[in-house]
Structure 1
């Protein structure tokens, strides 16, 4: 199965509200759409989130990487052979987003050829429990947002963005719990906001507030400090920022990591699945992390979350960001019922994209 045609489009989608990330403030997101067509008539898709502070690329640089490096590297490679594709791309340093997108599209294509959706191709489940991410805002606003999401979509799992100071983080957790109910579950992602010397106290705070998992409470390295920190708390520490490859995952797991973040939107399906496989070998959990996906990216990246066995799921999948967008290029938006998304049962990706919407929101690189 070889590449017959490929295309790369970019589009800008507006947010309902301004988003305050740890390293950026935005009112819209820029995305890349890769489409592959094989010589036997099948198609695969991947969406990339284009943020300079996340992926280190612009539309122009990503386009050049695909044209000059990525596609020539896999020319003539059997797209159905995930290992062959991975090896062909391994010869290229950097270019993580481009390589991940190519591998994701190949997986989608291989599943279509097998006449199965990817979640089924991997032996996963059609329904995936999801969580909602509450970005840094005053505690009262975060609480009101949690109550609305819980009421409207039945979501009971919340990823709370911490790092506003320990007192404010504690206030936010208490306010959100009052608003969402005692049965709500929380993970807290501080985006490494606290110092390594503060991390133990912060983890005690989170444990006292009934948090289920703590992501990147401080800068994490696979060293003695991390090992001692994980041993000192009953909370699984989800390693995110420092875990972008299977090699990273192995180093942290050897130091006692109990949970890892696997982001197919950041590293592609092959690397995300490799991280998940290693985690299972060590008895650790996996969280399918947010990458600010649109509705289209949500449908694609949740295929990986659907393949994570329930006993190894560190926290419900974070792919609900699409609800915060006012515009989409997907032909049909995922529906959340009782905190779960049901993935398409039909094989292939035909009909997933609304061509009129893609044309409306497309970015021209020469503009």
Structure 2
């Protein structure tokens, strides 16, 4: 079997509420759907977030054609190594999501050809469903409390919210509102996206700990692991590495520095599903748990990660997903909005390969939305952010 073509289709799916973080906001998600065609009629599906931009992802995919077309999709390791070494892509992290989408599509072909779901190819089911968090995206304190109530009513067990606003007191008030709305049993995860200095991080986290935190995510710069280790030793809440741990090589450094309690791992940021499994193995050898990071994904990429997580023991926390924000999806019966989750869990698809099917009408609808509104509406920007010059840390 040989790969004969790569098809790339950007799609834009709106959110039900605006996503806001320390330096930007967006009202929907753009992903690139990747389809690998073969000379035997099988088509493999992949998907990647448009990180750092749609244009870069599409350019990378176009540049990969000479390395991918004509290759045997069963020889996944050989193909990825060829991309990394011959294509020299291992030097540039921004290319990883596009490469990951190609690798995922190869696995989809392998699963379809062998009649096996991906979970069986990655070790078999350790669990039958995978837990994801509820993303509380609004910065408004009243809305935060309402979202906490919505999450609890839907059966989610973990809520995630962004902190790192212009005042630490605002962040503390938002955490308090989420606790009030979600109730005493909800786990709360706070993500600062590197917004704080060491001293500010310690002060902020200690103030939030009154309301109970499951994890605090990347409170300080991910480039200073000594500082992360310093903060970790002075707070009671476990520290989750994210910007510090986007690749296996970064994760190894975090472990060596004792800079985190939990590692955020990401198949898109590290070039594929095999590397997601490897990341978890590195952490397991160090006696650490992991959870999956998300740059934003629809049902294809979500299904791919769900298979690998289900086959890997040390994914012990709720993983990142965008179900709480999405109004729709491009797949049939998988992913989409929070109403499709069961107590915060998604079942592992049973069908061969990824086990998901595209809804072609919705693919075309959201491809047209991308063509008409595109990156101008669905990227992490707003007028104030485009004219400002933010600096980190904030405090």
TM-score between the two structures when normalised by the length of structure 1:
0.88
What secondary structure does 1:324 align onto? coil
2:171 counterpart of 1:169: yes
SS in 2 for 1:264: coil
Report the equivalent of 2:287.
283
**165-174 or 282-291, larger mean C-alpha shift:** 165-174
Q: 1:337 and 1:351, CA in 2 relative to 1: closer, same or farther beyond 3 A?
A: closer
Name the residue aligned to 2:73. 79
Distance 1:364 1:73, change over 3 A: farther
Take 1:223 and 1:297, find their aligned partners in 2: how far apart are those partners? 30
- Decide which of 258, 262, 276 is 2:261's aligned counterpart: 258
Q: Once the two structures are superposed, what CA deviation does each residue of 1:7-39 show, in whole Å capped at 9, x if it has no partner?
A: 111112122222213332222222100012344
Alignment root-mean-square deviation, CA: 2.4
Once residues 38 and 266 of structure 1 are traced to their aligned partners in structure 2, the CA distance between those partners, rounded to angstroms, is 26
User: Is 1:204–2:209 an aligned residue pair?
Assistant: no
**Superposition pairs for residues 125-274 of structure 1, below 5 Å?**
125-151=127-153, 153-164=154-165, 165-221=167-223, 223-256=225-258, 257-267=260-270, 268-274=272-278
CA distance in 2 between counterparts of 1:172 and 1:366 reads: 36
| In structure 1, distance between residues paired with 2:38 and 2:316 | 36
Larger mean Cα displacement after TM superposition, 174-183 or 107-116 = 107-116
User: Any unmatched runs of 5+ in structure 1?
Assistant: none
SS in 2 for 1:202: helix
Q: Deviation of residue 332 (structure 1)?
A: 2.1
Structure 1 position 64 matched with structure 2 position 67: no
Farther-moved stretch of structure 1 (247-256 vs 356-365) = 356-365
Task: Give the superposition deviation at 1:120.
Answer: 3.0
Q: How far is 1:183 from its partner? A: 1.1
Q: CA deviation at 1:201?
A: 2.2
Asked if 1:98 corresponds to 2:109, the answer is: no
Alignment partners' CA distance in 2, 1:82 and 1:231: 41
Tell me how far apart the structure 1 counterparts of residues 287 and 75 of structure 2 sit (CA, whole Å).
Answer: 28
Paired positions, count: 357
Q: Quick check: 93-102 or 219-228, which moved more?
A: 219-228
What are the superposed Cα offsets for residues 93-120 of structure 1, whole Å, 9 maximum, x if unpaired?
3222211211222223223333221123
1: distance between equivalents of 2:187 and 2:136? 13
Give the 3 Å change call, closer, same or farther, for CA 224–360 of structure 1 in structure 2: closer
Distance 1:85 1:126, change over 3 A: farther
Tell me what 1:119 maps to: 119
Does the Cα contact within 8 Å between 2:9 and 2:33 map onto a contact in 1?
yes
The question of whether the paired residues in 1 share the 8 Å contact of 2:220 and 2:228 is answered with: no
Give the SS at the match of 1:144. Answer: helix
CA distance, structure 1, for counterparts of residue 61 and residue 189 of structure 2: 36
2:341 paired with 1:336? yes
Deviations 1:67-96 (A, max 9, x none): 2x2121234444323321221121223222
Distance in structure 2 (CA, Å) of the matches to 1:247 and 1:337: 35
Kept in 1, the 8 Å contact 2:2–2:38? The answer is yes
2 CA distance for matches of 1:203 and 1:85? 44
Is contact 1:119-1:126 (8 Å) kept?
A: no
CA deviation map 1:150-202 (0-9, x unaligned): 21x21011112111232222222222122212111111111111123322223
Do the aligned partners of 1:191 and 1:216 also contact (CA within 8 Å) in 2?
yes
User: 2: distance between equivalents of 1:160 and 1:64?
Assistant: 33
Structure 1 96/23 Cα, relative in aligned 2: closer, same or farther at 3 Å? Answer: farther
Describe the SS at the equivalent of 2:199.
Answer: coil
Q: How far apart in 2 are the matches of 1:365 and 1:259?
A: 36
Secondary structure of 1:315's aligned partner: coil
